[in-house]
Amino acid sequence: MDLIAGLIQTAILAGGVLALAALGEVLAERAGVVNLGVEGLMALGAITGIAAVVAVPSPMLGFALALLVGLAVGMVFATATVIVRANQILCGLALTLMGTGVAAMIGKAYSGIPAPATFPPIAIPLLSELPLVGRALFTQNILVYLIYLVLPFCIHHLLFRTRHGLDLRAVGENPAAADAAGIPVRRIRFWYVSVGAAFAAGAGAYLTLAFVPSWSEGVVAGRGWIAVALVIFAGYRPWTAVMAALLFGLITSLGFVGQARNWPIAAPVLSMLPYLGTIALMIVPVLAWQKVRRLMAAPAALGEPYFRDVR
């Protein structure tokens, strides 16, 4: 029983990183901009978080600073992709290379040092005493509650229940029509790309302040790419993205449980699970769910810079 509870607890903790980054990417992609810089942003957030708590032992401050760094870098990326309208794919790849490189350089001094302060688990009264899943579900740190309950609810509401969300989706689907309707295309794209980048950096800080918790080069380990893949798999929907992230968290923690329980699978194969899972999740829906493909489709103008004068 402890094993199942432990599995769920680790899955939730591991999935949180992906969920937060994926939610940020949902915002950016719904507005029509592909941000492939998530991996680099997460690295920057991770090193910002650890550097901040080494200086001042407050995880909240570290997380907030990471969000700010993400927002600032995101604004640079948005300037390039939305204002200057450079190629989004290339800008994203550049951001990933730059982010991981800069983080590795700054991180040399912090390598292997455990975070002096981390987000402590908060036990919710009564619920945390439920048998079997109580501890796993309701003794988590504050970010977990935020990422799994508050944020997807807010983003879902914003996207599908408000006028502003309709504008946002319109910008992603058909910027020319949105522009004609008087929706400020560039402004919406600029800010949602920036906020999405802040989420990605926050996910990095979550990694070093709540999950690992310490910095090492390559600590992000491809999670940024997995988050990008999850968004596509989730059909650009916040709740689905969070659930997919949780599924991934489960796959990741299964690898270690498998070794602990002596499953007859080679250790390197078990460590491959998250990446194999990514590939599977990309292929299976295409084959199995032909009918819902329309629902899962990407925003029509995704990845296309919008030029008003070449309509």
Query: Which spans of this chain sit near another protein (rule: CB under 8 A)?
Result: 2-3, 5-7, 10, 14, 108-109, 111-114, 207, 211-219, 221, 252-253, 256-257, 259-262, 267-268, 271
Kindly tell me which of 33 and 207 has the beta carbon lying closer to another protein: 207
**Shortest spacing between CB 10 and another protein, in angstroms:** 5
Give 57 or 184: the residue with its C-beta nearer to another protein. Answer: 57
Nearer to another protein, 46 or 185 (CB): 46
String of b and e for 270-291 (b: at least 16 CB within 10 Å)? Answer: beebbeebbeebeeebeeeeee
Q: Min. distance of Cβ 64 from another protein in angstroms?
A: 23
Q: How far is the CB of 195 from another protein (least distance, A)?
A: 26
Nearest to another protein of 116, 303 (CB atom): 116
CA distance 290 to 223: 28
Whichever of 192 and 215 has its CB closer to another protein, that residue is 215
Query: In whole angstroms, how close is the CB of 108 to another protein at the nearest point?
Result: 7
The number of angstroms, rounded, from the C-alpha of 3 to the middle of its chain's C-alpha atoms is 27
CB of 288 to another protein, least distance (A): 30
